[in-house]
């Protein structure tokens, strides 16, 4: 007599468990289905810091509309909000170009974690300095005659 297989066993294969069976009736097709995933993969690229930050804030607003944060005054709600703000700070910093690595390190090494707006202000200040430095260098490069 063959041993009986327990249907509650996680390795049990039922009659409907076949290769190619559709488990989810919705076809997932890219960014229309993955707005949250898009937030995690957004990078500055050739955009200015302010353009990149605005795109992130718009995506975060969409996220908050779909998945609102808990609104009670309980400690877990406060922990969730603080965690969400830290995640957004890390998302913002990690999507910046390598030119801002020094400023990103300074932000992350601060004794207290700055707010997202404070970090944004520091990065904008760095961007302004980089642009001013680039303009100064290009003004000084004149052809040298021999």
The confidence score (pLDDT) of residue 13 equals: 74
pLDDT at 31: 55
The single-letter DSSP state of residue 100 is G
Q: Which residues contact 1 (CB under 8 A, 6 or more apart)?
A: none
pLDDT of residue 27: 65
- Locus of tokens 């009670």: 72
Tens digits of pLDDT across the chain (146 residues): 667 778 787 777 777 777 666 666 666 665 555 556 555 678 998 999 999 999 999 999 988 888 888 888 888 888 988 999 999 999 999 999 999 999 999 999 988 889 999 999 999 999 999 988 887 776 665 555 55
Question: Do 63 and 39 meet the contact criterion of CB atoms below 8 Å apart?
Answer: yes
Give the model's pLDDT for residue 26.
Answer: 62
Residues 34/28, Cβ–Cβ less than 8 Å: yes
Neighbours of 107 (CB within 10 A): 20
Predicted TM-score of the model (pTM): 0.66
Distances, alpha carbon 110 to alpha carbons 3, 90, 99, 106, in Å: 63, 14, 19, 6
């Amino acid at each position: 007599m063959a041993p009986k297989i327990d249907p509650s066993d996680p390795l049990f294969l039922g009659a409907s468990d076949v290769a190619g069976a559709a488990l989810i009736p919705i076809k997932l097709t890219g960014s229309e289905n993955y707005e949250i995933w898009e937030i995690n993969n957004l990078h500055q690229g050739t955009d200015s810091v302010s353009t990149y930050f605005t795109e992130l804030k718009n995506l975060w607003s969409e996220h908050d509309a779909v998945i609102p944060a808990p609104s009670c005054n309980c400690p877990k709600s406060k922990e969730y909000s603080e965690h969400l703000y830290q995640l957004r700070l890390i998302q913002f910093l990690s999507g910046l170009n390598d030119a801002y690595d020094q400023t990103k390190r300074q932000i992350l090494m601060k004794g207290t974690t700055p707010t997202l707006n404070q970090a944004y202000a520091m990065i904008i200040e760095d961007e302004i300095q980089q642009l001013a430095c680039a303009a100064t260098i290009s003004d000084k490069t004149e052809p040298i005659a021999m």
